[in-house]
Amino acid sequence: MISSFLHWGSRLLATLAACVSFTASSSASDYQFTYTNPSVGSFAAEYVLEYFSLVDCVPCRRFELDSLSGLIERAESGSLRIVFRDLLPGADSMSESRALFCLQEYPNYLERRLSLKMGRNHPQTHSNALNGLSLARYRACFESDQVPSILSHNLSVFDDLGFTATPAFVLSVSRPSSFRIASFVGSISLADIDSALEDHAEQHSLARASYRIPPIHSQN
């Protein structure tokens, strides 16, 4: 009876949502998304940290428990954006990986992400914490064929970078043009990020000091 009520409620809210900001009809699967990896921080941030992980990676959980909060503070300051690139897992972990990706449809993404990775409070079994519209959007994302495609793409990027273990990270300058500053394997801290940025600034300064402007030849 409860599941029937939730299904009816999802259909009704999906129809109402079509009148506001979402493209929807009578089914949650009709919601339209711009599928992208979850991220924290401003898209205008100067630096981007890409975080590669697997849902069942124990060192990844340890990193998120012990070190991620310091990086989040930096992201909240506006200078760093953190992109969560979860990797395509084995078939037995696919459900949890879909959930991790789709948690970006929820408020309090980081808390819910860690809770799920610790094996507690799966969103599908705790719908009382969500309103019907959020649950419908989550289900639409969870059932999409695009989610495993993105996870597979993340795995390809991971392999192309030469990584063989998680957690793994890539720190890049995002503007004016994107290029990689440093790569890390294993848990990192804010001190590691700052050290890499200091090295980058020093190298950039040396490069500018060694650059000589060529003479301008008059055409007269």
In percent, the amount of the chain with pLDDT more than 90 equals: 40
Confidence bin at 174 (pLDDT 50/70/90): confident
pTM of the model: 0.74
pLDDT of residue 162 exceeding 50: yes
Please provide the average confidence, as pLDDT, over all residues in the chain: 75
Rg (CA), the chain: 21
Q: Which residue has the higher pLDDT, 12 or 84?
A: 84
Kindly state the percentage of the chain with pLDDT values over 70.
69
**Residue pLDDT, tens place only, 101-124:** 988 877 788 888 888 887 754 555
Look up tokens 């699967």; give the residue. Answer: 29
Residue 125 has pLDDT above 90, yes or no: no
End-to-end CA distance of the chain: 89
Pick the residue with more confidence: 123 or 129? 123
133 pLDDT exceeds 80?
no
Torsion 124-125-126-131 (CA) sign: positive
What is the per-residue pLDDT for 176? 62
Average pLDDT of span 169-179: 83
> pLDDT-derived band of residue 24, with 50, 70 and 90 as boundaries?
very low
Structure confidence at residue 7 (pLDDT): 41
Q: Where are the beta strands (DSSP E) in the chain?
A: 39-40, 47-53, 80-86, 168-173, 179-185
Q: What does the DSSP assignment read for 46-80?
A: SEEEEEEE-TT-HHHHHHHHHTHHHHHHHHHTTSE
Contact 163, 52 (CB under 8 A): yes
Q: What are phi and psi of 53, to 5 degrees?
A: -150, 165
Using pLDDT thresholds of 50, 70 and 90, give the confidence band for residue 182. very high
Q: Is the pLDDT of residue 16 over 60?
A: no
| Residue burial 121-158, b: 16+ Cβ < 10 Å; e: rest | eebeeebeebebbbbbbbbbbbebeebeebbeebbeeb
**Structural domains in the chain plus CATH codes:** 33-208 (3.40.30.10)
The Cα 150–Cα 189 span in angstroms is 27
What is the side-by-side order of every strand in the sheet holding 39-40? 39-40, 80-86, 47-53, 168-173, 179-185
The predicted structure's pLDDT at residue 93? 87
Question: 155 versus 14: which is more confidently predicted?
Answer: 155
